[in-house]
Every structure is written in structure tokens, then in C-alpha cells.
Amino acid sequence: MKTSFIRAALAVAALGVAGTAHAESHGFMPENPECIAPANPGGGWDFTCRQVGKSLQDIGLIDKTMQVVNLAGGGGGVAYAEVVNKRNDSNDLIVAASTATATRLAQGAYPGNTMDQVRWLASVGADYGVIAVAADSEITTLPQLLDAIKTDPGSISVAGGSAVGGWDHLKVLIAANAYGIEDVRSVKYIAFDGGGEAVTQLLAGSVQAFTGDISEAKGFVDSGDIKVIAVLSPERLGGEFADFPTAREQGVEAIGANWRGFYAPGGMSDEAYDAWVAAIGTLYASDEWKAIMETNGLAPLDLQGAEFEQFVAESVAQIESISREIGIIK
């Protein structure tokens, strides 16, 4: 099981970088631009909505301030159901999505909902996973943490901002599996509504480790609250992230990247859809966005429209196969 599981995990992480022609403006301009972040403030979806909304306005791609609405619950399921059932024809609405969204769809965790009920817009980068502990923790390396889990699974609780079986959970399982923990279901994972909340529990001492994305962890590292013991990237990241060790250099073959992007209501008009795709594509190609990606540790992932939709479909299929292998779905 182990090698095929890791191979599938690597396939999810092997994010191809596609160059796409960025179309010019399509005439449509949202009257009341809105972005739903399907979690509480402070996590990756919230970051995606706020940063993209601000940047779109800064470079003149939208002419009004993007309203960000936090709609937490069900690992994104509450927001998904809201869009499908109540906001299906809104042309002004976009919703932050990520590998976590694909994971929930792959596992059938949004009851009655499938990926083809919405329109997939574009990606804005990829965020490598991290495993972190409180700054004052006695644990300083990933093998130390995994040894503790191996010896006494009940002694270590790992907190993440996605539901049980979600992407944050899967990242820890990928690492545990790569380290030779035979029954990865023995890993004690506790789900919270967003990465910010998970880190708060880590700092309160109610859990021993945190699994999330580098953009979520960065602020807490800067404030001296947590220490990253592993980045799930193929090699060390650059810039201010260069000090964080990879899992791989510690002998743990674990890679996990979280793509970030947006979907739109299924009934959005073609004109509005094309305009949003073009706006996000233009933003992605801008120097402003390149600087934001660098500051926040985002890796390149440049996909729009049909290419992005195909990529999400492949993500869902791959995660479904991993989830079957570890017994999360039958």
C-alpha cells in the first residue's frame, strides 16, 4: 500500500505550471463584487479572498471593493450548498477554493453536491503544506513527532483547519505513511474551522502539533508563536522560508501542495464567467501578484477556465483513490 499511496500523493502534489494567454477585459464589470471564504477569518481561504480582492481593485480589474463574506462549516460544505442552492445565478460572486475543496468533493462530503454544479474559474498559486509545533515545544524535528505518534498514538493530537479526512488531515497521513506508520488511522487528528483556529488551540496547549499551509503558518512564525518542523515541498523554499526544513531532507518522503483558486455559481453567465477568468489571469500575470506570491510562499500554478476545470477534475479523482486506500471512503 505504502508506495502506491505515496505515488498518488505525489501526483496530487506534482502541480504542472501551465502558461495561459491572458485575455483582455470582457466588458462585464461586477456591480457588487463578493468573495465567499468558506471558513472563519485567519485561514487560507480567507487569505485568498482578501488578497485577491484587494489586488484586483489595486490594479483596476474591478472598480469597487470586494466584499468578503466568511461562511464557515462542513469543511466548505456550507458555502458550497449556499452557492448551489441559493446563489446559483449570481454574476458578482466568486468563492475561494483549494485542494481542501477537491478533497471534500472526492469523498462525497458535500451531501448531494458534485464538482460540476459550479463553474471553475482559475488558480492563483499553490501553497505547500507544513507541520508545526508551538515555539516552546520539546519536539524539534518531524521524525521526533512521528516517533512519538508511533510509540504512543494517544499522546499526540494534531490540529488542522479542514474536516476529518480533509486535506490538512491527509497531509499528516502522507507523512505518517511515508515514515512507516502502518495504520495511519491511529494518528489523532482534530478538525477546526480554519487554520487560524487550529493554531490558537496549539498555542493553548490543547493539541501538540499543527498541520496547515505555509501561508497560514507564516504570521504565527513571524510572531514567534510556532516553529515549522517540516515543509512538504520537494526542496527548500526560497526567501524568508529558506530556514524551514523539508520533510524529505529529514528522511520522510512526503510532499503535499495545496492549490488555491476560485469557483463561481453554476448559473453564472458566460460573459461574466469569461470576464472573471480574464481578470484573475491578468492579476496572476502581474508583477504585483508575483510579489504577493513570493511574500506568502506561494508556488506557481497558472491555470484558467477549461484547463483549471480539468485540473480540478484530476485532483478530485486522485484524492478519491488516496481516500479509498486509507479507508476514509469505501
Question: pLDDT, tens digit, for every residue of 213-247?
Answer: 888 888 899 999 999 999 999 889 888 889 999 99
- Provide the phi-psi class of 23: left if phi over 0, else alpha when psi is between -120 and 50, else beta: beta
Residues 143 and 202 occupy one common structural domain: yes
Residues 135 and 122 occupy one common structural domain: no
**The pLDDT of residue 26:** 57
Query: Could you tell me how many helices (H) and strands (E) the chain has, helices first?
Result: 11, 10
Residues 54 and 136 occupy one common structural domain: no
Task: Read off the CATH number of the domain in which 19 is found.
Answer: 3.40.190.150
For residue 50, which of 321, 40, 1, 243 has the smallest C-alpha distance? Answer: 40
Question: pLDDT, tens digit, for every residue of 155-195?
Answer: 999 999 988 888 899 899 989 988 999 888 899 999 998 88
The pLDDT of 63-70, averaged and rounded, is 96
Residue 172 forms part of a structural domain = yes
Residue where one domain finishes, among candidates 197, 219, 250: 250
Q: Are residues 153 and 118 in contact, defined by beta-carbon separation less than 8 angstroms?
A: no
Q: Is the pLDDT of residue 15 over 80?
A: no
How far, in Å, CA of 280 to CA of 108, rounded?
28
**How many other CB atoms are there within 10 angstroms of residue 140's CB atom?**
12
Confidence of residue 10 (pLDDT cuts 50, 70, 90): very low
Domain span including residue 170? 131-250
Helix (H) or strand (E) holding 295: helix 287-296
Residue 30 forms part of a structural domain = yes
Q: Among 18-22, 26-30, 220-224, which is the least confidently predicted range?
A: 18-22
**The pLDDT of residue 65:** 97
Confidence of residue 6 (pLDDT cuts 50, 70, 90): very low
